[in-house]
Structure 1
Amino acid sequence: MKKVAALDLGTNTFLCLIADGDENGIRKVHRDLVQVVRLGQGVGQTGEFHPDALARARKCLTEFKKEIDTESVDQVLAMATSAARDARNGQELFRIGEELGIPIEIIPGEDEARITYQGATAGAKNPQLTSLVVDVGGGSTELIVGKASDILFGESLDIGGVRLTEKFISAQPVKEDDRRRLEAYIQEQLKTVLPELEKHNIDQIIAVAGTPTSLVAIEVGGFDEAKVDGYFLKKDRLHHWVEEFARTTVEEKKTKYQLGGRADIIFAGASILLAVVEALGLDGMMVSTKGVRYGVALEMLRSR
């Protein structure tokens, strides 16, 4: 048995999973931590990490390190994705990791699909179904088609909750013109992969990350992993939430739906999910609380 700390440093959210297990998988989860950091703040406009974002990253990673030290883990690995690839001053993030003793790597494009897919499908009830894993991040959305342990197709699109909000949304409630431009851009991006997705006769969509889990938490009356993980979110409910988030202020989304640091980007994130479901003609999506951090943990547990 080995104890590992697997970190997923996303454009919007940082997550840290501390678990033990072996080459057969994760046996026990000791900690599953999450903080909205908004690392990707302004990267789309300036091409660099904002000093405030780096300060938030340092504070979050310092707190995660305390938990990691308390748990006496055998191995630590942090994976950074979209924002760290895009930022000119990305080395600043790596320097913070070095100072704290948290090794940070950027997931290579060819590994990202496999790591995300194996994390999202960890413990899947019916692995024989052909699944499309959708991971809506802050900067990008990963689309991975797989069956059992085989990956059939993977692509990363430059549509994410933070990126689209900064690019298109000038006010909330969302202006009709802003909404039209955002939706047209999502469609334009999806069109580039739709022919490939349609080739695979997808049985189900598995959605991971904060956008789908936040939507389900609202549906079930608060975040309870046992209720959220495996929940089937119907297309008409997705449509309902896109409409609701379009007509409410950021403050209303925070107070009414407890969306915290995700309140300003939830409209864009939900719009991406709805567009994927509609493009494939399915009646909804399965939501998983797992994802990249589980995939990273499995990578460490399976390596010598």
Structure 2
Amino acid sequence: MNELPREGADHLRAPLDDPSAGSPTDPGASESAGRKESSVRSVAVIDIGASSIRMSVAEITPDGKFRTLDTLVQAVDLGREAFDTRRISRATIERSVNILRRFQRVLKEYGIRGSANIRVVATSAVREAINRLAFSDRVYIATGLVVEVIDEAEVNRVTFMGVNPHLEQDPSLRAARSIVVEVGGGSTELLVLRDGNMLFSDTLRLGSLRLLQSLEPVNASVGRRRQLMEYQIARVIDEIAELIPEESETQLIAIGGDIRFAARCMLEHWEPDTLAEIQIAQLEALTAEAIRLDEDALVKKYA
């Protein structure tokens, strides 16, 4: 059995010494710390996406603050099948079940159980599959986990809740109009925010996996494939430009797995729980290098 890849467990751990907890030799402080410890709730979220299943484990305090303890990711080809045939094969369903069982063993280590503390969501790949109910039923029978297939509006709401606290910490970002873009495997989520309010949201049917699949029948050179991808991307950008009027002081905030990967490659000391600024020229250079490599070469260079 392969070890589950884990992301971000070390740098997100809080210091063991908490000055506010009092001296460990003080019985009153120990009792207070014990009450504080017992009131912390451990939870997990599992995201079944187009190209991977991802789980985040966190602690939530009574005041609503949270601390991420662990993040696990396993690759799975849900989107490749769902976007092509609109059906998830039995083999892929079973692979997904096995991944979720492994995740459950990790959750057992953390003492996390029950639907009140574990939320499992599925996005575009499962949503577009005509046998999505069979997928959800099989997962429930095998693991007891209830898969919630969330619609585009709920995805946008969750995205807003995730990014808004970061904007709140930066007055200039909060005051400016911010366009938040998340390119997933099957779709691109688009939000426009200002002063803590969502002004606009939309979901566009262009994702990294869907785009690559559309080019698979094309027997062309790397340069020609890049031209075709840029053409399709430009069409979506034109569509976005029609939806969102041009305005000065606009910030572009990119989120999601692809841009996190790019940030890790380009920024040596970047901490994934913070916003980072990436120069377009840097991103263009990384893209130009990656597009020339096949899957094996990409894994060898960046894994």
Tell me the TM-score range normalised by the shorter chain: 0.7 to 0.9
User: Which of 159, 164, 167 matches 2:206?
Assistant: 159
Q: Aligned partner of 1:167: which letter?
A: S
Residue in 2 that maps onto 1:66:
105
- Calculate percent identity across the aligned residue pairs: 23
Give CA-to-partner distance per residue, 1:17-60, whole Å, 9 cap, x none: 12122575432222222222232123222111133322321121
Q: 1:256 to 1:159 in 2, by over 3 A?
A: same
User: Which of 140, 165, 170 matches 2:187?
Assistant: 140
Residue in 1 that maps onto 2:10:
none
Q: 1:130 to 1:142 in 2, by over 3 A?
A: same
Residue in 1 that maps onto 2:33:
none
Residue in 2 that maps onto 1:95:
137
Residue in 1 that maps onto 2:271:
226
User: Which of 288, 294, 300 matches 1:243?
Assistant: 288
Q: Aligned partner of 1:82: which letter?
A: S
Q: 1:186 to 1:24 in 2, by over 3 A?
A: farther
Q: 1:48 to 1:253 in 2, by over 3 A?
A: same
The normalised TM-score by structure 2 is 0.76
Contact persistence 1:7–1:77 (CA under 8 A)? yes
For residues 249 and 132 of structure 2, the distance between their equivalents in structure 1, rounded to whole angstroms, comes to 36
CA shift for structure 1 position 115? 0.6
Q: Aligned partner of 2:82: which letter?
A: V
Contact persistence 1:118–1:149 (CA under 8 A)? no
Residue in 2 that maps onto 1:108:
151
Residue in 2 that maps onto 1:281:
none
Q: Aligned partner of 1:242: which letter?
A: T
Q: 1:172 to 1:77 in 2, by over 3 A?
A: farther
2:237 is paired with a residue whose SS is: helix
Stretches of structure 2 lacking an aligned partner (at least 5 in a row): 1-39
For residues 112 and 227 of structure 1, the distance between their equivalents in structure 2, rounded to whole angstroms, comes to 21
CA shift for structure 1 position 139? 0.7
For residues 64 and 80 of structure 1, the distance between their equivalents in structure 2, rounded to whole angstroms, comes to 15
For residues 197 and 59 of structure 1, the distance between their equivalents in structure 2, rounded to whole angstroms, comes to 43
Aligned-residue RMSD, C-alpha: 2.5
Contact persistence 1:168–1:179 (CA under 8 A)? no
Q: Aligned partner of 2:125: which letter?
A: A
Q: 1:225 to 1:32 in 2, by over 3 A?
A: farther
Q: 1:162 to 1:23 in 2, by over 3 A?
A: farther
Counterparts of 1:280-291 in structure 2 under 5 Å? none
Larger radius of gyration: 2
Residue in 1 that maps onto 2:69:
30
Give CA-to-partner distance per residue, 1:52-79, whole Å, 9 cap, x none: 3223211211111112232233521111
Residue in 2 that maps onto 1:294:
none
Residue in 2 that maps onto 1:43:
82
CA shift for structure 1 position 121? 3.5
For residues 158 and 123 of structure 1, the distance between their equivalents in structure 2, rounded to whole angstroms, comes to 27
How many residues end up aligned between the 2 structures? Answer: 256
Q: 1:36 to 1:26 in 2, by over 3 A?
A: farther
For residues 237 and 64 of structure 2, the distance between their equivalents in structure 1, rounded to whole angstroms, comes to 33
Residue in 2 that maps onto 1:81:
123
For residues 171 and 229 of structure 1, the distance between their equivalents in structure 2, rounded to whole angstroms, comes to 39
For residues 297 and 200 of structure 2, the distance between their equivalents in structure 1, rounded to whole angstroms, comes to 39
Residue in 2 that maps onto 1:118:
161
Q: 1:177 to 1:51 in 2, by over 3 A?
A: farther
Q: 1:128 to 1:8 in 2, by over 3 A?
A: farther
Contact persistence 1:139–1:158 (CA under 8 A)? yes
Query: RCO greater where, 1 or 2, for CA within 8 Å and sep 6 or more?
Result: 1
Q: Aligned partner of 1:234: which letter?
A: Q
Q: 1:197 and 2:241 equivalent?
A: no
Contact persistence 2:166–2:275 (CA under 8 A)? no
Q: Aligned partner of 1:7: which letter?
A: I
For residues 231 and 257 of structure 1, the distance between their equivalents in structure 2, rounded to whole angstroms, comes to 20
